[in-house]
Structure 1
């Protein structure tokens, strides 16, 4: 059973959505498997000794290492089915437990938290006594905003969840409640995992469509508020705080959305990217690229010698303070 929730915010000024975007960095203390470990799990036996693949962008590396050398063109149904089975098996090895850093997130009073992670570590931080490995639990807290667009939609959004997430109800730390979104898929739905180049491309096509729909809706309103129906539309208009996510150049769906946000004339949301020194030449160029696309790079006072825990604690505190300022 889907929850009936509504996310209505001003497009500009105080009250705009406050959004935290997190990546694998916050699951390190949960003992989560790294992206490299996940790729190794999905690498076919005949390609395990292949050298030079580290230089490839992650989505293309996955396509190379997970595709049989003798794969036909076009690929047969059985080839695709076997790839999906290997991915489903790899998802079973994901860790789903919270950690002290994740447990700080409910206290940030964010309106939404986006994660590129496939695990339910985030949910376990918000729902410590619930098992999100259980489909009944997921159904209890799942929402689907497409219902606002069409009451005729009965099928569940599976492969590309742009309108679907989990809702953490209002409480002392979250007076408005918090939407939890797996923007690149979740482990219980392997066919929706965004990992290879093909699925990144398909996701981007849907993001573009969401943004076009949002543009049409903003052109028809004159009240300054909008019911937000997807995570890309929230990204366009909200203040976005990025922590524990490297924003690698291969994440071309999010780079496109970042640029689209920079050109959004109807909103004034900001993007803050948190990173810890030291910064080599490659890191500095990455920061220049983020800044050229409208993001502000922050270190939260960290130095070359600041350790992992201290940096994340300082970044979370800086986000808390900035959220309070941006709400007024």
Structure 2
């Protein structure tokens, strides 16, 4: 496929040197609560765990959230590139959407924002263009620490902005931002000019990999279900694009419940057998390039 559109998560960074996600969690707790009064537990959904850490720190240390997110931004900026990042760029994607905060996919730190409007907290238009590829940091980025989407409150606000853009219309003061919702523009046969990464979910094929799509990602699951409703319910907008989700074959049995929900939401699941993580991602990219 020439100039594909990709949605990429954090797993590709697990091949890089440096700290793991678990290391980052431990560092966050130590930074906020040196006495270690918070217990990390895999049963705690991360957005709520973040709120537990932050709210406990507020009461004990009067920490400001901008200080915490700036700390996280500095930590994640230290993640190093690996050869899979370079291989992704070699595909010459038209668009890369990512939940990652750092710029390993770009291969460099952008000099300026190329979004339609400048966003301080939420990420509807958050875009950087390098070469011919648009990079959309849909959960915020390290250059804007307050945009980093971690807690339950931030997820709720992000989802509210997403639903406004897609369903009911925006209230941005900038004259550049579209007033009519995406659904209204499509139904009235108005141009969809890809001002937001959300436009792509209803108009272009997207390949998703390196993203666990845990159910805590409430914003993305809402988007998937809303798109599927538009496609299959009566009196809605036409949706003809395809979404592809790639997963290693050995992980598929344990993720059966999630894969069933993806299929119900009109996502095509592609299982790939590989001997290791690098081989898996090389095969994902090979399949995408051959489509």
Instruction: Tell me the TM-score range normalised by the shorter chain.
Output: 0.7 to 0.9
Compared CA separation, residues 283 and 242, structure 1 to 2 (3 A): same
Partner of 1:115: 98
- Distance in 2 between residues matched to 1:219 and 1:281, nearest whole Å: 39
Compared CA separation, residues 51 and 68, structure 1 to 2 (3 A): closer
Partner of 2:75: 93
- Show the 5 A alignment for 1:146-157: 146=117, 156-157=118-119
- Show the 5 A alignment for 1:158-307: 158-169=120-131, 177-212=132-167, 213-221=181-189, 226-264=192-230, 265-279=237-251, 282-300=254-272, 302=273, 306-307=275-276
CA RMSD in angstroms, aligned pairs only: 2.5
User: Among 63, 79, 84, which residue is 2:51 paired with?
Assistant: 63
- Distance in 1 between residues matched to 2:250 and 2:80, nearest whole Å: 30
Q: Judge conservation of contact 1:299–1:315 (CA < 8 Å) in 2.
A: no
Secondary structure in 1 matching 2:42: helix
- Distance in 2 between residues matched to 1:199 and 1:184, nearest whole Å: 9
Q: Judge conservation of contact 2:244–2:267 (CA < 8 Å) in 1.
A: yes
TM-score (structure 1 length as normaliser): 0.75
- Distance in 1 between residues matched to 2:205 and 2:145, nearest whole Å: 30
Compared CA separation, residues 47 and 116, structure 1 to 2 (3 A): farther
- Distance in 1 between residues matched to 2:25 and 2:155, nearest whole Å: 16
Flag structure 1 segments of 5+ consecutive residues without an equivalent.
1-13, 73-77, 125-130, 147-155, 170-176, 323-328
Runs of 4+ more than 6 Å apart: none
Flag structure 2 segments of 5+ consecutive residues without an equivalent.
168-180, 231-236
Secondary structure in 2 matching 1:31: coil
Number of aligned pairs? 269
